[in-house]
Amino acid sequence: MPSLTVEARPQNLKKLRAFVEEGARQAGFDRRGVYAVALAVDEAAANIMEHGYRGAGGLITCSWELHPRGLAITLHDTGQACDPNNVPPPDLDSGLFERKAGGLGVHLMRQMMDEIRYRSTAEGNFLTLIKHRPQEH
Amino acid sequence: MEITTKTYKHCTVIKASGRVDSETSVALRNAFEHLLDHDQANIVFDMSALEYMSSAGFRVLLSAQKTAKEKGGEVVLAMTPDLIAESLELTGFKPLFTLYDNLTDAVGHF
């Protein structure tokens, strides 16, 4: 299973995106699917950097494997547990001045993926993102 | 990411190329804030050379639009690439911005 470990710094988001884009291409995703995979992983990793490690740094290990219906990506970190499934839905429709920007990243991640699994263990946190190929929903 | 700005008679165009994420959004935010701090609140954001934008970029746009409107101006978007436009739609941002499919019409907004 290909894997990549990086320091939890925003400068490494592009490496993580390039790494999972390769997995998405191997899984047979088209341009839109590859973009969706990169965006979901970027949002997930940015959240780990900001909320999991609280900007203090640490390591993120990203791995991907071909899944019978598409691609499965796992992000591992040892920061504070942050289950994206506990993040409330964002404000999508209030007016400009009332609009809050929180939760947009997790929302995009959910929209881009078919399944999101989260486990927090003694070995750290494991976030698994699964995306199906379009014809296999 | 590269950012250029060009001032017209009634507005300023900010053009960014490449990818906007949590790292590069800082430079984009600075570009918007620099204009807004100098009361140049009529802004066209030329997105034609952008390949990618995460929610970090959307937060910059939301904040810039709030400040621009408080100052009597506006941020309009020009030539938003299709996949970024889809994210704008999914985040409910489309109603907050006027979108143009060419720069001439976007500049003509002001």
Residue of B nearest to A14 (CA): B21
Domain count, chain B: 1
The CATH number for B7's domain is 3.30.750.24
- Give every CB contact of residue A26 below 8 A, 6+ residues apart in sequence: A66
* Residues of A whose CB is below 8 A from B22: 10, 13, 42, 46, 49-50
SS3 A93: coil
Arithmetic mean of pLDDT over chain B: 97
Residues 15-54 of B with CB under 8 A from A: 19, 21-23, 52, 54
Residue of A nearest to B25 (CA): A10
SS3 B52: strand
Q: What's the N-to-C CA distance of chain B in angstroms?
A: 27
B55, B56, B96 ranked by CB distance to A96: nearest: B96
What pLDDT is attached to residue A134? 84
- Give every CB contact of residue B23 below 8 A, 6+ residues apart in sequence: A10, A11, A13, A14
- Tell me which residue range forms the domain holding B73: 2-105
At residue A33, φ and ψ (nearest 5 deg) are -70, -40
The answer to whether the CB atoms of B21 and A97 lie below 8 A apart is no
The CATH number for A65's domain is 3.30.565.10
pTM: 0.96
For residue B69, being part of any structural domain is answered with: yes
Place B73 in a pLDDT band, splitting at 50, 70 and 90. very high
Nearest alpha carbon to residue A61 among A114, A20, A97: A20
Residue of B nearest to A45 (CA): B22
* Residues of B whose CB is below 8 A from A43: 54-55
Distances, alpha carbon A133 to alpha carbons A67, A76, A112, in Å: 10, 24, 12
The answer to whether residues B21 and B56 touch, using CB atoms and an 8 Å cutoff, is yes
CB-based burial, B29-52: b 16+ in 10 Å, e otherwise: bebbeebbeeebbbbbbbbeebeb
Domain count, chain A: 1
SS3 A106: helix
What pLDDT is attached to residue A57? 84
A32: closest CA of chain B, how far (Å): 7
| Each residue's pLDDT expressed in tens, for chain A with a length of 137 residues | 999 999 999 999 999 999 999 999 999 999 999 999 999 999 999 999 999 999 888 999 999 999 889 999 999 999 999 999 999 999 999 999 999 988 999 999 999 999 999 999 999 999 999 999 987 55
What does the block give as tokens for B44?
């066209």
For residue B110, being part of any structural domain is answered with: no
Q: Which residue has the tokens 């165009």?
A: B13
The answer to whether residues A83 and A118 touch, using CB atoms and an 8 Å cutoff, is yes
The model's pLDDT over B22-52, given as tens digits with 9 standing for 90+, comes to 999 999 999 999 999 999 999 999 999 999 9
- Tell me which residue range forms the domain holding A116: 3-136
**Burial (CB count <10 Å: 0-12, 13-18, 19+), residue A18:** exposed
